[in-house]
Amino acid sequence: MSLIIGMGATGLSCARYLQAIGAEFAVADTRAAPAMLDVFKAEFPGVSLELGDLPEALLARAQRLIVSPGVSVKTDAIAKAKSAGVDITGDIALFSQRVKKPIVAVTGSNGKSTVVAMLASILRAAGRSFGLGGNLDGENFKPALDLLSEEPKELYVLELSSFQLETTLALNAEAVALLNLSQDHMDRYTDASEYLSAKQNIFHGAKQVCVNVSDALTFSLDPATATVCYSTHGALEGGFGINEAAGTRALSFNGSAFLATDRMKVAGEHNIANALAASSLAHAIGVSLDSIAQGIAEFKGLPHRCQWVAKIDNVDYFNDSKGTNIGSTLASVVGLGEHIAALSGGKLVLIAGGEGKGADFSPLAPAIRTFVRNVILIGRDAKLIAECLEQDSYAHEVTFAQSMAEAIEQATAAAQAGDAVLLSPACASFDMFDNFQHRGDSFATKVREKAQEG
């Protein structure tokens, strides 16, 4: 008997999959009233369900535990079951064992959703049939196992979190990329090494690995694995890079330009890096440079990721609510900061804060010193962030706001013509909002209301 632990969207997809193949299963959830309880009871009226504390005896009797990403495998009852020899797995491992077509998978602390969406745009330009799922959000959200109930595709593209990879010991993908690593989820992992180790599970069984030659952490654990290389620092013979000539920058392959960066609809150095990663993955599965160029040029970006909202009194407002960790916010501050400085000579007014997940925010200080005029902090860990910024010798202009509306009012007052207001919290959202989408929508709605007032 399989025991599914966690009754969220992933847990439900596991239940549907097991029911479809005729496997016996039960479900347990540590919450007394999970949000999807009514959906589960309607779909699986005869399936055993345990709510509340995980019963160790039940876990010990199971042949395997299918653990949802939101549940730590370090949970005492799960750890004891593992020690007793019970198999621990997850939905991505089940998917990879079942699917017969190639998998392309992407992980990393930052940029993975954009790279996967960019790759999807490339595949559409190439006329390839593909399924898209995993850790994506918004309209692209789909648990991987739900893809198996659809018409078979030529290949499958997955965005994978460290939580999903914890229980995926042999993905056996056709092509993979670990884009980057920055401090995140330190409330779940002992240290950065443990976090990296979970991410590196993506390499197991991979036929090709796409690597950033400037970042050793992106390299395969097995040096014999075939690689597709890219560089964010200049052109690269034998891979993808950036050509610069006569004031024009372009994405290049083997030193030859194939797409001018000014044709891209998403701005910032971080998005050029994303485009190079997506290009490398597409090349690994045989997509032509023409289709790669077309797909990147047509890609318009994703909601809540440096998404332009409005212009008010010659100040642009950007929603980067998906900036839920330091690395993501750092990339946005540098990428957008450089763009605004070149465009208008302006600075950023940064709105940040929320649940810090045990992170050290001091790495943000140099970029804030260079690109940010004012910092407005919200949420539970606002004072902690302020303390980290105060350690820098630069005198940051830092204020506090109790709500998103107050933060926007302060940002509007601080911004000068040619500046940009950037919501990029570097934190989780759950102290004030339902999720990062709710936070971003709150920001965008209030900014648009202010724009209409003007």
Q: What is the CATH number of the domain that holds 350?
A: 3.90.190.20
Annotation marks residue 112 as catalytic: yes
Which entry of 41, 74, 110, 112 is annotated as an active-site residue? 112
pLDDT at site 396: 66
pLDDT at site 120: 97
Please check whether residues 294 and 151 belong to one and the same domain: yes
Please check whether residues 258 and 224 belong to one and the same domain: yes
Q: Is the dihedral of CA 78, 82, 85, 90 positive or negative?
A: positive
The CA dihedral of 359, 317, 273, 375, to the nearest 10 degrees, is -30
Q: Tell me, what CATH number does 193's domain have? A: 3.40.1190.10
How far is Cα 173 from Cα 175, in angstroms, rounded to an integer? 6
Which entry of 110, 180, 185, 374 is annotated as an active-site residue? 185
Please check whether residues 311 and 416 belong to one and the same domain: yes
pLDDT at site 394: 64
Annotation marks residue 314 as catalytic: no
And the tokens for 184?
Answer: 């995140």
Per-position pLDDT tens, the chain of length 454: 999 999 999 999 999 999 999 999 999 999 999 988 999 999 999 999 999 999 999 999 999 999 999 999 999 999 999 999 999 999 999 999 999 999 999 999 889 999 999 999 999 999 999 999 998 876 678 999 999 999 999 999 999 999 999 999 999 999 999 999 886 676 788 888 999 999 999 999 999 999 999 999 999 999 999 999 999 999 999 999 999 987 889 999 999 999 999 899 888 888 999 999 999 999 999 999 999 999 999 998 888 888 889 999 999 999 999 999 998 899 899 989 988 998 899 999 999 999 998 889 999 999 999 999 999 999 999 999 999 888 775 656 899 999 999 999 999 999 999 999 999 999 999 999 999 999 999 999 999 999 998 6
The answer to whether 16 touches 146, Cβ cutoff 8 Å, is yes
Element containing residue 365 per DSSP (H, E):
helix 365-371
Please check whether residues 69 and 166 belong to one and the same domain: no
Please check whether residues 319 and 237 belong to one and the same domain: no
Among the candidates 270, 298, 326, a domain finishes at 298
Please check whether residues 235 and 320 belong to one and the same domain: no
How far is Cα 160 from Cα 80, in angstroms, rounded to an integer? 26
Range of the domain at 110: 94-298
Beta bridge partner(s), residue 308: 318
Which entry of 135, 212, 243, 325 is annotated as an active-site residue? 135
pTM comes to 0.83
Beta bridge partner(s), residue 211: 229
Residue with tokens 């939101």: 70
For the chain, the domain total comes to 3
β-strand 49-51 against 420-423: which pairing, if any? unpaired
The answer to whether 58 touches 2, Cβ cutoff 8 Å, is no
Rounded to whole angstroms, what are the CA distances from 438 to 31, 35, 298, 327, 450? 22, 17, 27, 21, 18
Please check whether residues 204 and 139 belong to one and the same domain: yes
Among the candidates 62, 89, 116, a domain finishes at 89
Please check whether residues 198 and 136 belong to one and the same domain: yes
Please check whether residues 429 and 282 belong to one and the same domain: no
Please check whether residues 292 and 325 belong to one and the same domain: no
How far is Cα 136 from Cα 160, in angstroms, rounded to an integer? 8
Please check whether residues 21 and 146 belong to one and the same domain: no
And the tokens for 255?
Answer: 């030193």
Please check whether residues 439 and 325 belong to one and the same domain: yes
Among the candidates 70, 89, 108, a domain finishes at 89
Annotation marks residue 80 as catalytic: no
